[in-house]
Amino acid sequence: MRRARPVASNAASANAAGHALWPEGGAADARQAWIRAYRAVRAETERRGARLSAEDQVVQSMPDASPVKWHRAHTTWFFEQFVLAPHAARYQSYDARFAFLFNSYYVAAGPRHARPKRGLVTRPNAAEVSRYRAHVDAAVESLLADAPPDVLDRMIPVVELGLHHEQQHQELMLTDVLHAFSENPTAPAYDPDWRWPPCAARGNDCCELPEGIHTVGHQMPGFCFDNETPAHRAVVGPVRLARNLVTNGEWLAFMRDGGYARPELWLSDGWAAAAQGWTAPGYWREIAGIWHGFTLAGLVPIEQELPACHVSYYEADAFARWAGKHLPSEAEWEVAARAGELKDAFGVVWQWTRSAYSPYPGYRPVEGALGEYNGKFMVNQMVLRGSSVATPQGHARVSYRNFFYPAARWQFTGLRLADFPG
Ligand SMILES: [Fe+2]
């Protein structure tokens, strides 16, 4: 949780901190700059939600996904709980019951509603959540404008964390509504004009990392989550990393070669997970002999040149084994990305790594309830690097560590391969 300052741009962090969204340190109008950043992030949440009806917003299609209305309210509770309650002495909460409904997992912040039951909460309705957001927005903006300088200094890092937190939920709004819509037999489109971003030209090009000691983790000025720290040295290489993402065409070759039916390719837990009926990536459907994918634009034929997406870690691992290769470690990915060697590192699909999500050497969560943000999840999950088509602009960076359980595949998750020379 560091205060944002300008970040030197480079090819690897084109979709990273330093985006115009974030205020620059020392700006004469810092208060106004933070108010603008706050409004911009909060507006993006509402922009993403605006395509959805009140009915769309209440559905919870599986325990891992949350209703859009809940995302809109939970991100608001975050500011109420961690910015307004400690820093705005005269703040009147919108509704004291909302803390129970919209606290996600912060045990130190008090009791909370059961996650799998979020879809059963029809009230407050979507319109009242809008009023809740407006109430909190007015209070936060007023505090940013008028707080004494010492209070402002204490609250800005939490406001900044709250904005990055809200951006994470903006991505989840899209992945969760995609899952909800995938359960609708009419295959509705979230946005009929949604398209994959243009991807780099395909090929079997690799970059080679010779053996060396590299510093990984967050090293630049600017915001990062605590799980990206401390920066530390790691031995990397020799290893070759594919410059390109694995494509749908390559995934079809894996399927045609019986990839989903060959236990020798699969981790034991992955084989058990695949037994729930996996025969293709998530959201793929074979219609009259043609594979289609369910996307934010609805059901569309699979394009071979586009990146494989909605695959779990288990599937990515099996694919890599079938290809005679490996998934990169997160350190290998970061070193190659920092060198500008990876195509489509950001903004297309998150890329599974073979690294378990665990603390960096010397990592300590911050004290208090916000220490629960990342640290307590550092077991049994795998790290993904880069960012996806659903990630808001200005959110990701080269040291960013995303993480999910290895069976998860409702996120925009894909892969690139690694190989060891010799
Ligand atoms: Fe959250």
Task: Compute, in angstroms, the gap from residue 167 CA to the centroid of ligand 1.
Answer: 10
Instruction: Tell me the Cα Rg of the chain.
Output: 22
Predicted local confidence at residue 17, as pLDDT: 40
In the DSSP assignment, the letter for residue 202 is: P
- Does the pLDDT at position 14 exceed 60? no
Task: Compute, in angstroms, the gap from residue 377 CA to the centroid of ligand 1.
Answer: 13
As beta bridge partners, residue 392 has none
Q: What is the mean pLDDT of residues 186-202?
A: 92
Element (H, E) at 70: helix 68-79
Name, in order, each residue with C-beta under 8 angstroms of 33's C-beta and a sequence gap of 6 or more: 23, 24, 27
Amino acid at 336: A
Longest pairwise C-alpha distance within the chain: 67
**Alpha carbons 422 and 104: distance in angstroms, whole number:** 48
Task: Compute, in angstroms, the gap from residue 78 CA to the centroid of ligand 1.
Answer: 8
Q: What is the mean pLDDT of residues 100-117?
A: 93
Task: Compute, in angstroms, the gap from residue 166 CA to the centroid of ligand 1.
Answer: 7
Task: Compute, in angstroms, the gap from residue 125 CA to the centroid of ligand 1.
Answer: 20
Predicted local confidence at residue 8, as pLDDT: 27
Task: Compute, in angstroms, the gap from residue 373 CA to the centroid of ligand 1.
Answer: 8
Range scoring the smallest mean pLDDT among 82-91, 303-312, 364-373: 364-373
33-10-38 Cα angle (round to 5): 20
CATH number (3.90.1580.10, 3.40.640.10, 1.10.1060.10, 3.40.50.300) of 206-419 reads 3.90.1580.10
Task: Compute, in angstroms, the gap from residue 216 CA to the centroid of ligand 1.
Answer: 26
Distances in Å between the Cα of 404 and the Cα atoms of 276, 322, 384 are 19, 23, 8
377-405, pLDDT tens digit by residue? 999 999 999 999 999 999 999 999 999 99
Predicted local confidence at residue 200, as pLDDT: 82
198-229, pLDDT tens digit by residue? 888 777 799 999 999 999 999 988 999 999 99
Range scoring the smallest mean pLDDT among 4-18, 57-71, 102-116, 284-298: 4-18
Predicted local confidence at residue 203, as pLDDT: 75
Task: Compute, in angstroms, the gap from residue 407 CA to the centroid of ligand 1.
Answer: 21
25-29-31 Cα angle (round to 5): 85
How much is the pTM?
A: 0.94
CATH assignment of 30-182?
Answer: 1.20.120
**Alpha carbons 224 and 17: distance in angstroms, whole number:** 9
Task: Compute, in angstroms, the gap from residue 74 CA to the centroid of ligand 1.
Answer: 7
Task: Compute, in angstroms, the gap from residue 54 CA to the centroid of ligand 1.
Answer: 21
**Alpha carbons 234 and 152: distance in angstroms, whole number:** 37
Task: Compute, in angstroms, the gap from residue 261 CA to the centroid of ligand 1.
Answer: 37
Task: Compute, in angstroms, the gap from residue 402 CA to the centroid of ligand 1.
Answer: 14
Task: Compute, in angstroms, the gap from residue 172 CA to the centroid of ligand 1.
Answer: 10
- CB-based contact 302:291 (threshold 8 Å): yes
The CATH 3.90.1580.10 portion of the chain extends over 206-419
The CATH 1.20.120 portion of the chain extends over 30-182
Task: Compute, in angstroms, the gap from residue 51 CA to the centroid of ligand 1.
Answer: 22
Task: Compute, in angstroms, the gap from residue 165 CA to the centroid of ligand 1.
Answer: 6
- Tell me the three state secondary structure of residue 126: helix
Task: Compute, in angstroms, the gap from residue 174 CA to the centroid of ligand 1.
Answer: 15
